[in-house]
Structures are given as C-alpha cells and as structure tokens.
Structure 1
Amino acid sequence: MTISYPDVRLKKELESLERNGYQVNLIMWQRGWPLQLPDTVKVRALKLDAPTGDYRSIFYFPLWWAYLFTWLILMDWDVIHSVNLDTYFFGVLASRIKQKAVVYDIFDFYGDMMPERFRGLVVAIDRFLIGMADAVIIADDSRIEQIGGALNEEIITINNVPTADFNKEDQHNSRDYFKIFIGGKIIPERCIHLVLKAVDKLDDVQLTIRGYCGDKNYKKQLLEKAQGKDNVDLYLEGVPYQDIVDETLDSDLTIALYDPQIPNNRYASPNKLFEAMASGIPIIVNEDTSMAHIVTQENCGLVIPYQNLKSLVDSIRILQSQKKLHHLLGENGSRAYKDKYNWPVMEKRLLDIYDRIISTRLRVRVSNAQLMKA
C-alpha cells in the first residue's frame, strides 16, 4: 500500500486486509499527524516534514517519488494498493514492469485540486490511467460523476465509515451544557473560524476541537480567536483516532462544513458524518455536497448554506433546545449506520475486490504456464 500522507481511511483498509490473511507492507510519506499502525505491518516511511494541502509541498514531491519508486522496484509484492494519483502513477509503472496487479484508491481526485491552467492535463492523465487499474475504489457513489463516468469495469464504493467500537452508554442527561465536537483535519475551507463565532452567540455551549492544522497562519488565527474563551477547548497538533472516537461519543453534536466550490468537497465522504451516525448524535452539514444528500436521505442532521453564520447559530440552537428532534435525528443516524454504513459491509467489498484480483491473476498465470509447455 502506498500513500503520501497519514490517513485513517488507509489504516482501516490495511487492518482489514491484515485480519483476513494478507501480508501488508506500507510505503508512506510520514508527515503531519500520528498514525498508529499494527506492529505486523512493515512500514517504509519517508520522514520529511512538509505542508499538506499547500502548493509549496510540490517542491518536496520529487524526493517522495524517488523514495516511493525505489522501494516499489526493490520490494516483493503481488498487488500494489495506490492511494491517489501521486502514488498511483508510479504504481501503474511498477505494476507494468513487474507484471503484477494494481488497485487505485481515490481518496481525492487530484485534477480538481489543481490550478486551472494545469487542471485539464491532470484530469486527462488521471482518467486515462484509471482504465489501467485492476480495480478502482471510491469513497462515495457520487465520485463516479466527478471522475467522468465508469472508466473502469471494476469500480467499488467503500464509504469512510468507522471501524472503532461506538458504544454510547452515557446520554449526558445530567450535563448542564451542550457539547459540540469537531475532529480531524483543520483547514480554512472547513469553517472552524465560523463555528467559533457561532459559539460566541450561544449560551451553555461547549466547543471541543481535536485535529491537525498544517496551515500556520490559520492555526494562529484559530488560537487567537479561542484565547480566553472558557467554553472552547482547542488542540491542533493531531491526536490518535481513538481520541476522536471518545470525544464524538461524549458529544451532543458534530459539525462538518466543506466548501462546495472545491469539487473534492462536493463529493466528499468524510469520517465525521459516519462517526456521528455511529455515535447516535446529529450532525450539521452544508448544502451542495454528497454528505448533505445522505443527511437528508437518512434524516440524521440539519443542512445549512455554506458560510452562513445565522443558519449555523439557529441550527445549533434548535438542536440544543428541541430534545425530541435531537433524539430522533440521532436515532435515525444510528439506525442507518447499523443497516448500511458499517465497516463489516465495507470490509466485505474490499475483500471481494482482492479475491477477484488474486483469482484472476492466478488463472492468467496458469494459462500462460500451459501455453509455454505447449
């Protein structure tokens, strides 16, 4: 498996493969927040700190690509599981050299992250290479539209649902405040600054934020806004995933606001949505995103316009004051999680992919061997 930044989604897939008899090696660019992996996984990690989600990181990529491709050639493997175009390009190359299988796991469609003058070229390369994969994994059904249709016969959706144990024993009935929790990657487009403003306008609300912010300017801005606020608990250095689970379970509400002007955000399938479902709490999301479609379909939260402070304040106030509605939305999310969005369902899809790839490759090897004997 190859990835250019630590990510919980990869960890879930990796652990599922390990549990089911696959020996997993990982080549990764170790930067940003911590990622706790099983001891049985052999990790080749480039420990070079560089900004994530920042154009300046492009200057570090040649070092990463050299490191990645060197290990892909030196290591022995049967299938390469490449996350995103920046590792998949070299995965395709190595798979052709070694005549082995390659799985393309699209966390983000890179063409939609590029400046306009480069976008067309990157999209064209990505769409061309998609057809070379033995299988393609996407995080949400809507991403088929984003990548330009079914460009591969084997496209499988594996949603970003949690694998952790979400057993909510305490419903916090005795608590005299309403707790909002936000966890994960912290960037300007996710409107944490807006949530801080909203909390200023509300009574008896506690905001807890646990995540990683690689943008130094935005980090400084948030810390300054939170300074001196007794009802804000802010930590931006990255935390183990279990901390995210524990905080979500201990909360009354979570919020996921993603700028819909960024295409990858419109098609995002964030952990936060399914963590809220698993925890039995409502979530507030914004319009024009695939997660808004799920929230509306499952009736498990509220949908507001992006960057609309009044709507955000009103929505929090509604969920804080209307206990029956709060409970109903949480129950709906919990039911949807148990029925459709749990990890055993996703794990089966992942294992089915690998079973088909391995069996197909074995048939090809046997056929080639018979031809050579003939």
Structure 2
Amino acid sequence: MKIAMVLCRTPDELPYDSRVLREAQALADAGHVVSIFIAVSGDEPQEYFVGKGIRVVAVPVRDIDGLSECNIFRGERLPVKTLSAKIRRYPANRLYRRRYIEESVRALIREDVEAVHCHDFHTLEIGVRAVSSRKAVLVYDSHEIFTETMAFIGLQGLLKKAFYIRQERRLIRHADRVITVGDGCGHFLAKRYQIPMPVIVENVSEFTPEDGRPREKIRAALEVNPQQKLLMYQGLLAPGRGVETVMEAVPLLPAEYVLAIVGFGPSEEVLRQLAGRLGIESRVRFVGRVPRESLLSYTRSADAGVMAIQKRCLNYYYALPNKIFECIAAGVPFAASDFPDMRRLALNEGMGVVFNPEEPESIAAAIKLLFSNPEDYRQKQAAIGSAATNRYNWHVVKQKLLDIYEQAGMNGRAC
C-alpha cells in the first residue's frame, strides 16, 4: 500500500520525532511504500530518505510578511523561528496555515496515495481534503488531546477552545481509524466525539538487552560513582513538567542521591539558577540534548527515572510519557506523577512508585520508598524486564498498527 504520513515538522525537527519514525519504519519493513510529508520554508520542494527506504517530501511554504511573530500560548508578541511553530500557532496566523494546508493537499493529490496517516490535529484537515476525491484510507494518529493542551489555558485560549472542539469533531468523523498513545487519551476522545475506542499504539521503545559497559561509561562521564543513586529526568525543560519540584526534592534526600537532567528547553537557565539557590549544584548534572539513538544508554545508566509532569491541563493529566517506556526498555524502575495511566504502570503492574507532583516532600518520600527495600527494587526490575519483553515492546505494539493497514488493504476504506 502507498502510504503518505503528514507531519507538522521541519527537516531539522523530524529526526527527534521517534514515534513517527518508528511507525514509518514498521510500515516500510512490512512492505508498504511510505513517504513522510513535512514542511520547509521557501519555494522549492525537497526530497530525501531516512531510515531504510522511507522517503521524505518537504513541501515548500513561503513566508508571509507580518504573520510570523505571534505566540498564542502566552498571548505575547514573540519571534517564531521555526516553520512548524508558525503552522502550529495558527489561531493567530490563519493565512499562513491556510497556505500550508493548500500546498500539502496539492502535494498529496499529486502522489495518488492509497492511505493518508495524519499525525496530530494540525494535519487532519489536510488528510480529510486529500482523501475526499479518491478511495483512500484516512488514519488519524492523535499524539495528544489537542483541545486540552496548554495552548488553551487562559482567557484567550478558552475563547478559541470551543471552535477547535467543533473542528476536531467534524474532521475526526472522516477518519477510518483513530490511533492514540494511551488508554486515558483514548477513552477521552471516544467519549467526547462519540467514536469507537481508538487503537492504542503506545510510544514504546525498542527492547535491546545491553551489557554494563555503556552504563558505567556514562556514569563516569557524569561523575557518579557506584555508591551513589542516579535519578534521571529526560525531556523538555518547560513549565508544567515538574522539573523544579523534583529539584526541590533533592535537598530532602540523602547526600548520595544525584539528579541528571537530560533535555533542553526554555526553562534551562531558570533551573540552573534554582540549583544555585537550593545549594545543590554538586548534586545536579545538566546533560543537555542527547541524540535519539543514544537516549536509552543514558536511561540505563540511571537507578531510577523521575517523571513529575503536573496537572496544568487535562492533556498532561491523561499523559503517558515516552520517558516511562524508555525506563521500561532500559530496565529502570521509575517514580511518576499519580495520574491514571502512570499509576497503572507503576502500581498495578509493579514497575515503580507514584507521588504528588506539586509537593517536593511527596516526591522525596516516593524516591526513598523505591530504594527502601532491595528485594522490592529487584522485583520491580523483574516486572519491568517481563513487560519489556512481552508487552511494552515495539515489536509487539507495532502489530496493532500493521493490522490496521493489513485490514485496509483487504477491505479498502472499510478498515
């Protein structure tokens, strides 16, 4: 089957979107012809290949003077430096987004594809329009609950929210299949839009057993000795991710606990200053952005992962972060926010502990509990090893994605 994946990313951003690349490679390995359509500034299209035989088509979108400086998330006039940011912030930039949609639809129609796979709400209208004049399958891959994100917090966001709920309700009904990342998101979308339960394709990582040498090498580079407990946060450094609260928990832990922060983002300088105010500079390591192919090696070097995402919006509350699955793939127990999907993995499946992400004392207590009983810690490692091998493994999870397209190939649009 000839499949077009549509993604609101630029060539610089695509290498860091592990979900898209994993799905595209799985479909290509199964014999499908896969192209990823992204956006690029300028007048000339670009084509290149990633992975094993995955074609990338960069659709040119020309800048429009005066429409490239707006940040709808805060209602401020700020420079928007990337093309995909301009497109994603379309409530204040409708003309620019309209140009992106028109150019992308034309590119898809020229391709004469058999299926369009839309990644997130930003591309759903493109897919609906592209398949409307041909017998093609439309798959909507919702990476989040778009209308419950931080973009719709505050008065300006609330005024726009109802409009985009209506838009998503109208468009989602054209999808032959809806995919999402976790049970919480799936049940929410099914209830709000009165659609069948979406197929859950979790953001799991590849499970690749590894010896201890890379672990020891990374710990040595981070100046963490075998007697110390290495806690690791991985992800965006931004408000609502709870990194500040995790740092505030560090002084409440014994001196042998060290926190490594792997990632980048707008809050990095604020976090560095916070480390100074808390007097924990010697116990915090700012690692920066790590290449996708090296990320699991860093996760394996930790004794525990920490995910303290806060309930700034419903999308965060129902989140099932990639970082949990990276911990599972790496065999590392974790401490996470006490939200539905994270609680299920941590407690019901015995892989970690939970805490109140608003309280440093709760985070510190949960981390102490995680290490309080060596036998219990080993049991969590064993539960993670079993889950990584038998369930939360891309070789297992990808079959749900492949089944959608296998059924589509046999039955046409009735998938």
* Same fold by TM-score greater than 0.5: yes
Deviates more, 1:259-268 or 1:58-67: 58-67
Root mean square deviation, CA, Å: 3.1
Q: State the partner residue of 1:331.
A: 382
Correspondence 1:204 to 2:277: no
Q: Report if aligned partners of 1:51, 1:57 keep a CA contact under 8 Å in 2.
A: no
Identity score, percent: 21
Which of 225, 229, 254 does residue 274 from structure 2 map onto? Answer: 225
Structure 1, residues 115-147: CA drift from partner, whole Å, max 9, x if none? Answer: 222222222321232221111111112223211
Deviates more, 1:264-273 or 1:39-48: 39-48
Task: State the SS of the aligned residue for 2:384.
Answer: helix
* Corresponding pairs, count: 356
Q: Report matched runs for 1:131-170 at 5 Å.
A: 131-149=173-191, 151-153=194-196, 155-163=198-206, 165-167=208-210, 169=212
Correspondence 1:3 to 2:7: yes
Correspondence 1:299 to 2:350: yes
Task: State the SS of the aligned residue for 1:336.
Answer: helix
Cα distance in 1 for partners of 2:27, 2:374 equals 41
1:55 offset after TM fit, Å?
Answer: 8.8
Cα distance in 1 for partners of 2:36, 2:292 equals 19
Q: Report if aligned partners of 1:166, 1:245 keep a CA contact under 8 Å in 2.
A: no
TM-score scaled by length of structure 1: 0.85
Check 1:38–1:316 CA distance in 2 against 1; reply closer, same or farther (3 A cut). Answer: same
Task: State the SS of the aligned residue for 1:233.
Answer: strand
Cα distance in 2 for partners of 1:311, 1:56 equals 36
Q: State the partner residue of 2:115.
A: 79
Cα distance in 1 for partners of 2:40, 2:208 equals 26
Which of 125, 149, 165 does residue 89 from structure 1 map onto? Answer: 125
TM-score scaled by length of structure 2: 0.77
Q: Report if aligned partners of 2:307, 2:323 keep a CA contact under 8 Å in 1.
A: yes
Check 1:314–1:30 CA distance in 2 against 1; reply closer, same or farther (3 A cut). Answer: farther
Correspondence 1:21 to 2:31: yes
Q: State the partner residue of 1:195.
A: 246
Task: State the SS of the aligned residue for 2:199.
Answer: strand
Q: Report if aligned partners of 1:257, 1:286 keep a CA contact under 8 Å in 2.
A: yes
Task: State the SS of the aligned residue for 1:206.
Answer: strand
Letter in 2 for 1:143: C
Cα distance in 2 for partners of 1:220, 1:95 equals 46
Structure 1, residues 289-344: CA drift from partner, whole Å, max 9, x if none? Answer: 32212222101111111211001112222334432222222221222222222112
Letter in 1 for 2:28: E
Deviates more, 1:20-29 or 1:226-235: 226-235
Cα distance in 2 for partners of 1:324, 1:84 equals 42
Cα distance in 2 for partners of 1:235, 1:321 equals 27
Structure 1 unaligned segments of length 5 or more: list them. 365-374
Letter in 2 for 1:233: R
Letter in 2 for 1:19: D
Cα distance in 1 for partners of 2:262, 2:37 equals 27
Q: State the partner residue of 1:353.
A: 404
Task: State the SS of the aligned residue for 1:27.
Answer: strand
Cα distance in 1 for partners of 2:105, 2:88 equals 26
Cα distance in 2 for partners of 1:83, 1:308 equals 35
Letter in 2 for 1:123: I
Cα distance in 2 for partners of 1:2, 1:305 equals 37
Structure 2 unaligned segments of length 5 or more: list them. 42-48, 62-80, 220-224
Q: Report if aligned partners of 1:26, 1:41 keep a CA contact under 8 Å in 2.
A: yes
Cα distance in 2 for partners of 1:67, 1:55 equals 11
Q: Report if aligned partners of 2:6, 2:37 keep a CA contact under 8 Å in 1.
A: yes
Q: Report if aligned partners of 2:86, 2:96 keep a CA contact under 8 Å in 1.
A: no
Task: State the SS of the aligned residue for 1:127.
Answer: helix
Cα distance in 1 for partners of 2:29, 2:124 equals 24
